A and B are shown apart, each in its own frame.
Chain A
Amino acid sequence: MTRHLRLGRRAWAVLLPVITVLMFLLSGTPLASAGQVVPVSDLLVDGERFAGSEITIEGELVGDYGFRHDGHMWTQLNDDSYARDALVDGGPRAGANVGVGIRMPTALGEGLAPVGGYRLEGPLVQATGVWRYHDPDRGGESYLDVSALTTIEGGRRLEEGPDWAVFAAGSLLLAVSFVMWWRRRRSAAAA
């Protein structure tokens, strides 16, 4: 036999105001800046607003891992719909990529899954660091200086097979062209 915990009216009268006050306080409390996930599009539109503050961005690592001699690794983090739903995998078209450059100590970049590219979804990560906006030490570049990196999802390989109908049409046209060339050549030789 199951026993149900039943709260009396008096208990509800005490709990409800407490829950309400707690919810209000929680909603009004600003999130710690380091934990705040900022959309990359916000950084591109109004990067100055986040200049020098510690923020977190989330997305797919794409392009290349550039391990430099100064002990840093550079790559690009894309925060667009393709980060989770690549076109090759049947994802919808949603405009151009939305990404920013990120820099991290080499140790953080080692052991990451292969970077995203053709038929390859790169690792989905959360990167926390200082947003360097128009960094005077790097000739006015803007990038995220990463101090902590968390992998949300490892990368994965995607499949893209040939389009047989297109292949057949192309082959047919090439064959016809070859026959035309051969006949032209033969008639020229005969003349």
Chain B
Amino acid sequence: MLIRPEREDFRIVGFALGRIFTVVAAASCLPLVWAVLGREWHPFASFLLMIGVFAFLGQLGLRYRPANERLDWSHGMVVVALTWLVVPAIGSIPFIFSGHYGGPVDAAFDAMSGLSTTGLALVQDLDHMAPSLNFWRHLLHFLGGQGIIIAALVLFAGGGGLTLYYGEARDDRILPSVRSTARFIWAVALVHLVAGVVVLGVIAHQVLGFEWKRAFFHGLMIFFAGFDTGGFAPQSTSLGYYHSAIFEFATMVIMVAGAMSFGLHYALWRGPRRSLFKNLETRMILATVAGTMLLTMIGLGVAGIYTSVPGLTRQGFFQVMSAHTGTGFATVPSTELATWGGLAFAGIVVAMALGGMASSTAGGIKALRVGLIVKSVVAQTKQLLLPEGAVVSTQYFQSGRKRLTPELAQSAMTIALLYVALFLLGAGVALGYGYGFQEAIFESVSAGASVGLSVGVTEPAMPMLMKLTYMFQMWAGRLEFVAVFALLGFIYAWVRGK
């Protein structure tokens, strides 16, 4: 029997949401300060409104303190799913008033794309956009990639942190407590932020010849989008704008750092480093990067798209890394990417679908799950070949030797299948509107796996249903389904429960 949520349940959820909105309101002051410094008074007013709405909702939630603040599993998941719906909706206010979007849905699309670190965009005339608005677009990547909930966990003590942590699609606790893990994640991000912005800024000034101020503006934007595997860029031509192999290489290093799990970061910082290459996830991601790279290179070579080896290598390598890390930066225009057929298309799509490492900012099925599925299939094949009654015990190494239980294999398989279903959903809608098979699949995988590479389907003139479908894909894909199902279950129980 379904139990209808009680008033206390709503209070618990509302109180947790109130805390999170207060944190987001505080974070939203950064673009406001940027607008003041740049004397950008039009965006300033819209940032003020956005902060006002976040602050008001925050205070509204905190007004009704529940008797017990501790979140149970379902409360936590509902809070996460709602946070990831409401924050983009309110976060789109500055976009709506900027005039750069066709309407509230387009603005919310970009806010969802920013927060979910996807990078697909419906912005118009980006090249004339106010720097403070551009900063807000990229800050959304940073907030979404590092985790709004994680930020709230760092600032507020309180029960139920673990459920919020898992709800945001993070499944390894690096340190004994969730709060210390959350602090570590933000520490990693801030150290990378300083190093990344300095490196990119210096390259932009010394090599590309930009003015210092603009060089660091580009460095900051590209860092946010690269480290959080987002894919927004400050100019309309994405990474192709810079025409520099050195800048692309530096960006690629940042993208790889972003696609690494925070557990791996911890091991790299504190050691032991030798065991890193024994990890199933590390081995699997190296194998899939090599495989998809090979597919793409062969495909590009056969199609004769690039006539020189340096051209094929640089463009192919960057696009595959961008796809596999889930970043979505491109050095070629979408019209050109659309011509990558055959094996090159397959290589990029598979790379996008597989994604980065678990507990990183990347999306997609994730290397650890792929590794577990492969191990499980091998074990089942062995079982079939052995005499009846023989028991095959499978182990894997991931920060220590672990046993691959049937439940774990089933869970990995279920999530992978849900991703496939999500990709098919988006592709089906696009096919229904008459888009070609290749472009429908490409764009859908890009949205569902939070990548952001585009073959030109995502544009302001695309049908409304497709915009909404891609938004759903970005939301469900980023949260890896569990929190989404919990929210749907909560709503169903509220309507039909007793």
Give chain A's interface residues, CB within 8 Å of chain B. 44-45, 47, 62-69, 73-74, 76, 78, 80, 82, 86-88, 93-97, 99-101, 103, 116-120, 134-136, 138-143, 160-164, 166-167, 169-174, 176-178, 180-181, 184
A88 touches B127 (CB 8 A): no
B127 touches A140 (CB 8 A): no
CA distance A141 to B60 in the complex (A): 53
- CB A102 to nearest CB in B, in angstroms, measures 10
**Among candidates B48, B55, B207, B310, residue contacting A68 with C-beta atoms closer than 8 Å:** B207
Smallest CB-CB A-B distances: 8 pairs: A140-B311, A173-B52, A136-B308, A170-B48, A170-B49, A97-B236, A139-B314, A177-B55
Q: Given the complex, which residues of B lie within 8 Å of A173, measured CB to CB?
A: 49, 52-53, 55-56
CA distance A54 to B62 in the complex (A): 66
Number of A-B contacts (CB under 8 A): 185
Q: Which residue of B lies closest to A163 (CB)?
A: B45
A87 touches B209 (CB 8 A): no
A66 touches B209 (CB 8 A): yes
B237 touches A101 (CB 8 A): yes
- CB B230 to nearest CB in A, in angstroms, measures 18
Q: Given the complex, which residues of A lie within 8 Å of B208, measured CB to CB?
A: 64, 66, 68, 74
Q: Given the complex, which residues of B lie within 8 Å of A169, measured CB to CB?
A: 49, 52
Q: Given the complex, which residues of B lie within 8 Å of A118, measured CB to CB?
A: 40, 128-131
Q: Given the complex, which residues of A lie within 8 Å of B294, measured CB to CB?
A: none
A96 touches B459 (CB 8 A): yes
CA distance A135 to B332 in the complex (A): 13
* Interface segment, one of B67-75, B190-198, B240-248, B342-350: B240-248
A76 touches B237 (CB 8 A): yes
**Among candidates A45, A120, A184, residue contacting B62 with C-beta atoms closer than 8 Å:** A184
A47 touches B336 (CB 8 A): yes
- CB A107 to nearest CB in B, in angstroms, measures 14
- Secondary structure at chain A's binding surface: helix, strand, loop or mixed? mixed
With an 8 A cutoff between CB atoms, is B123 at the interface? Answer: yes
A140 touches B310 (CB 8 A): yes
A139 touches B311 (CB 8 A): yes
A45 touches B335 (CB 8 A): yes
Q: Given the complex, which residues of B lie within 8 Å of A143, measured CB to CB?
A: 243
Query: What does the 1/0 interface line of B216-259 toward A look like (CB < 8 Å)?
Result: 00100000000000000001110011010100000000000000
A162 touches B42 (CB 8 A): yes
- CB B420 to nearest CB in A, in angstroms, measures 30
4 additional A-B pairs beyond A69-B209, A173-B52, A177-B59, beta carbons within 8 Å, are A87-B125, A96-B121, A100-B237, A116-B127
Q: Given the complex, which residues of B lie within 8 Å of A172, measured CB to CB?
A: 52
- CB B213 to nearest CB in A, in angstroms, measures 10
Query: What does the 1/0 interface line of B82-124 toward A look like (CB < 8 Å)?
Result: 0000000000000001011010000000000000000001011
* 28 A–B contacts, CB within 8 A, in A order: A44-B336, A62-B235, A76-B241, A80-B125, A82-B128, A87-B99, A93-B125, A94-B124, A96-B460, A97-B125, A97-B127, A119-B130, A134-B305, A136-B307, A139-B315, A140-B306, A141-B243, A161-B41, A163-B42, A164-B45, A166-B48, A169-B52, A171-B48, A171-B52, A173-B49, A173-B53, A180-B59, A180-B60
Q: Given the complex, which residues of A lie within 8 Å of B52, measured CB to CB?
A: 169-174, 177
- CB B157 to nearest CB in A, in angstroms, measures 16
A82 touches B243 (CB 8 A): no
With an 8 A cutoff between CB atoms, is B154 at the interface? Answer: no
Q: Given the complex, which residues of B lie within 8 Å of A119, measured CB to CB?
A: 128, 130
Q: Given the complex, which residues of A lie within 8 Å of B428, measured CB to CB?
A: none
A139 touches B126 (CB 8 A): no
With an 8 A cutoff between CB atoms, is B184 at the interface? Answer: no
Q: Which residue of B lies closest to A141 (CB)?
A: B243
- CB B300 to nearest CB in A, in angstroms, measures 10
With an 8 A cutoff between CB atoms, is B63 at the interface? Answer: yes
Q: Would A177 and B58 be within 8 Å (CB), given that A63-B127, A78-B127, A93-B102 are in contact?
A: yes
B241 touches A63 (CB 8 A): yes
Q: Which chain B residues (182-218) contact chain A, with CB distance < 8 Å?
A: 207-211, 214, 218
With an 8 A cutoff between CB atoms, is B419 at the interface? Answer: no
- CB B379 to nearest CB in A, in angstroms, measures 43
B128 touches A87 (CB 8 A): yes
B48 touches A140 (CB 8 A): no
- CB A50 to nearest CB in B, in angstroms, measures 14
CA distance A164 to B41 in the complex (A): 10
- CB B340 to nearest CB in A, in angstroms, measures 13
Q: Which residue of B lies closest to A78 (CB)?
A: B127
B127 touches A76 (CB 8 A): yes
- CB A106 to nearest CB in B, in angstroms, measures 9
- CB A85 to nearest CB in B, in angstroms, measures 10
Q: Would A95 and B124 be within 8 Å (CB), given that A140-B315, A173-B55 are in contact?
A: yes
Q: Given the complex, which residues of A lie within 8 Å of B335, measured CB to CB?
A: 44-45
Q: Which residue of B lies closest to A91 (CB)?
A: B125
B128 touches A184 (CB 8 A): no
Q: Which residue of B lies closest to A159 (CB)?
A: B42
Of A93, A97, A140, the most chain B CB neighbours within 10 A belong to A140
- CB B24 to nearest CB in A, in angstroms, measures 13
A93 touches B127 (CB 8 A): no
B48 touches A174 (CB 8 A): yes
- CB A157 to nearest CB in B, in angstroms, measures 12
With an 8 A cutoff between CB atoms, is B261 at the interface? Answer: no
Q: Given the complex, which residues of B lie within 8 Å of A66, measured CB to CB?
A: 208-210
Q: Would A99 and B237 be within 8 Å (CB), given that A118-B130, A136-B307, A166-B48 are in contact?
A: yes
- CB A57 to nearest CB in B, in angstroms, measures 14
